[in-house]
Structure 1
Amino acid sequence: MRLGLLVPLCLALLPGCALFRPAPRPAKAPPDEAARYRFPVVLPTDGQHVLPGAIAAAVAFAMEDFLPLGAQPRRGATPTEVCASQRQSYDVTAVPAADAVVFVSFSARPDACRDMEGPPLSDVPIVYAVDTARWVILSVQK
């Protein structure tokens, strides 16, 4: 009798498993292309930005909430909405604060998504307060 209840229960819960997919991973070049790529012997210093680990992690943490990796714009989105859904359309500012908090600000790049169909991107930045001790988003200012 228990087996008779277990099978229907499992079948009822199985569709819910589809909701628990692993997070998308960044795309990687095919092996033949990767094999042809050559790194410089020494990384150039021009344009170099050194980010402390906590700052880099806070930016990645906030970005994943702001524009999750693999997220797609809605069907029928305007060109501006498609542009706004791309991470490279935003400049990022990170400011360390007291108590292991990092403020991470996302603002539309001045040259991004201009002269496109649809409403322009807001000039008001979105600011995250990230607690890097507990790895939680304390607040989002929009």
Structure 2
Amino acid sequence: MGRQGWSGLLVKRGLAALLVLPLSGCVLFARPLRPPRASDADLARFQFPLDLPAEGRTQTPAAVAVATQLAMDDFRPLDLKPHKNATADELCLYRRDSFDVWTAPGPEGVLFVRFVPRQDACNSEGPVTDASATYAIDTRQWRIIGIQR
């Protein structure tokens, strides 16, 4: 290849690199998706009780809370959007609050997390039976090691 051939190739590669560089920067600096919050005014108005009410209070062990969050973030990510022309039941199944959560210890540091549609959720055309999922969460390395749908 002649001298002009090499220089032309280098210019093209340089331009390609300059075009791709900003795109990769967007990925590096993208903010993680955060849960929605009320306005500052609404946050300022909310009053907490001095202690949590005794009636209905439950304790969730830290391992269960973290494993459930890990599984839920995979099962129904915060940025999950329904497909176009989704039915009312399908829209319902995109919502995290449509599912009850069951947990059970497994072998060797595994915690099973199961999502099951609530009895009273998404049943305008009958009960939903095929939207459940069970996750196996490794609580030592905090990773998903199995999914059963």
Q: Which has the larger radius of gyration?
A: 2
Alignment of 1:122-137 (within 5 A): 122=129, 125-137=132-144
Aligned-residue CA RMSD (Å): 2.4
Identity across aligned pairs (percent)? 36
1:67-110, Cα deviation, whole Å (9 max, x unpaired) = 00121111111111100000000000111223111000000101
- Cα offset, 1:113, TM superposition: 0.6
| Amino acid paired to 1:11 | L
- 2:16 is matched with which residue: 8, 11, 36? 8
Mark the CA change 1:124 to 1:115 in structure 2 (over 3 Å): closer, same or farther.
closer
1:67 aligns with 2:76: yes
Structure-2 change in CA distance of 1:120 and 1:81 (3 Å): farther
The gaps in structure 1 that reach 5 residues or longer are none
How does the TM-score come out when normalised to structure 2?
Answer: 0.82
SS across alignment from 2:113: strand
Q: 1:125 to 1:12 in 2, by over 3 A?
A: closer
Q: Secondary structure at the match of 1:81?
A: helix
Q: Which residue matches 2:4?
A: none
- Contact 1:55 / 1:96 at 8 angstroms: preserved in 2? no
Shift of 1:115: 1.3
Q: Distance in 2 between matches of 1:124 and 1:8?
A: 44
**Over 6 Å off, 4+ runs:** none
Taking a change above 3 Å as real, the CA distance of residues 78 and 16 of structure 1, as seen in their structure-2 partners, is farther
Shift in Å, 1:10: 2.4
Whichever structure has more helix as a proportion of its residues is 2
* Within-5 A mapping of 1:97-136: 97-116=106-125, 121-122=128-129, 125-136=132-143
